Chains A and B, each alone.
Chain A
Amino acid sequence: MIKVVQYINQFFANVGGEEMAHIPAEIREGHVGPGLAFQQAFKDEAEIVATIVCGDSYFNENLDKAKAEVLAMVKQYNPDLFIAGPAFNAGRYGVACGTIAAAVKEELGIPSITGMYKENPGADMFKNKVYMVSTKNSAAGMRDAVKKMAPLALKLAKGEKIGSSAEEGYMPNGIRVNFFEKERGSKRAVGMLLKKLAGKEFETEFPMPDFDRVDPNPAVKDITKAKIALVTSGGIVPKGNPDHIESSSASKYGEYDIEGVMDLTEETFETAHGGYDPIYANADSDRVLPVDILRDLEKEGKIGSLYRYYYSTVGNGTAVKSAKAFAAEIGKKLKADGVDAVILTST
Chain B
Amino acid sequence: MKLELGYIYIKDIQFGETSKVENGIIYVNKDELKSIILEDQNLKSVEFDLAKPGESVRITPVKDVIEPRVKVEGPGGIFPGMLSKVETVGSGKTNVLKGAAVVTTGKIVGFQEGIIDMTGPGAEYTPFSKLNNLVMICEPIDGLKQPEHEKALRFAGYKAAAYLGELAKNITPDETETFETLSVTEGMKAYPELPRVAYVLMLQTQGLLHDTYVYGVDAKRIISTLIYPTEIMDGAIVSGNCVSACDKNTTYHHLNNPVIHDLFEQHGKTLNFVGVIITNENVYLADKERSSNWSSKLAEFLGVDGVIISQEGFGNPDTDLIMNCKKIEAKGIKTVIITDEYAGRDGSSQSLADADVSANAVVTGGNANEVINLPKLDKVIGHINYVDIIAGGFDGSLHEDGSITVELQVITGATNEMGFNKLSAR
Interface residues of A (CB under 8 A from B): 164-167, 172, 174-190, 192-194, 196-197, 202, 204-209, 211, 248, 275, 277, 316-317, 319-322
Closest to B316 in A: A275
User: Mask for B346-386, Cβ within 8 A of A = 1, else 0?
Assistant: 11111110011101111111110010000000000000000
- Cβ 8 A contact of B270, one of A175, A194, A202: A194
Nearest Cβ on chain A to B330's Cβ, whole angstroms: 16
Measured between beta carbons, the chain B residues less than 8 angstroms from A184 are 258, 262, 419-422
A177, A193, A204, A248: residue with the most chain B Cβ atoms closer than 10 Å = A193
Measured between beta carbons, the chain A residues less than 8 angstroms from B366 are 178
Question: Knowing that A185-B338, A185-B364, A206-B364 are A-B contacts, what are 14 other residue pairs whose CB atoms are under 8 Å apart, sorted by A's residue number?
Answer: A177-B367, A180-B422, A182-B422, A185-B422, A188-B419, A193-B197, A193-B335, A193-B361, A204-B360, A206-B341, A208-B362, A275-B315, A319-B349, A321-B349
Closest to B357 in A: A208
A321 touches B336 (CB 8 A): no
Measured between beta carbons, the chain B residues less than 8 angstroms from A164 are 424-426
Nearest Cβ on chain B to A157's Cβ, whole angstroms: 22
Nearest Cβ on chain A to B142's Cβ, whole angstroms: 23
A186 touches B261 (CB 8 A): yes
Query: 9 A-B residue contacts at CB 8 Å?
Result: A166-B424, A176-B351, A181-B424, A185-B365, A188-B424, A189-B259, A189-B308, A248-B391, A320-B349
Closest to A206 in B: B362
- Cβ 8 A contact of A208, one of B124, B343, B359, B367: B359
B308 touches A208 (CB 8 A): no
Measured between beta carbons, the chain A residues less than 8 angstroms from B261 are 186
Interface of A is mostly: loop
Measured between beta carbons, the chain A residues less than 8 angstroms from B262 are 184, 186-187, 189-190
Instruction: Give the complex CA separation of A205 and B336 in angstroms.
Output: 11
Instruction: Give the complex CA separation of A180 and B362 in angstroms.
Output: 16
Nearest Cβ on chain A to B180's Cβ, whole angstroms: 18
Nearest Cβ on chain A to B211's Cβ, whole angstroms: 14
Measured between beta carbons, the chain A residues less than 8 angstroms from B365 are 185
B344 interfacial by beta-carbon distance below 8 Å: yes
B422 touches A197 (CB 8 A): no
Instruction: Tell whether A181 pairs with B341 under 8 Å between CB atoms, given A194-B271, A206-B364.
Output: no
Measured between beta carbons, the chain B residues less than 8 angstroms from A172 are 426
B258 touches A204 (CB 8 A): no
A186 touches B348 (CB 8 A): no
A317 touches B336 (CB 8 A): no
B334 interfacial by beta-carbon distance below 8 Å: yes
Instruction: Give the complex CA separation of A204 and B338 in angstroms.
Output: 11
Instruction: Tell whether A176 pairs with B343 under 8 Å between CB atoms, given A189-B308, A211-B355, A321-B350.
Output: yes
A192 touches B344 (CB 8 A): no
B364 touches A189 (CB 8 A): no
A192 touches B359 (CB 8 A): no
B223 interfacial by beta-carbon distance below 8 Å: no
Measured between beta carbons, the chain B residues less than 8 angstroms from A185 are 258, 338, 363-365, 416-422, 424
Measured between beta carbons, the chain A residues less than 8 angstroms from B417 are 185
Measured between beta carbons, the chain B residues less than 8 angstroms from A183 are 422
Closest to B195 in A: A197
Closest to B315 in A: A317
Instruction: Give the complex CA separation of A214 and B225 in angstroms.
Output: 36
Closest to B347 in A: A176
Instruction: Give the complex CA separation of A189 and B360 in angstroms.
Output: 12
- Cβ 8 A contact of B352, one of A174, A175, A209: A209
Q: What 8 A-B pairs are tightest by C-beta distance, nearest first?
A: A185-B419, A186-B419, A186-B258, A319-B349, A176-B347, A166-B426, A176-B343, A320-B350
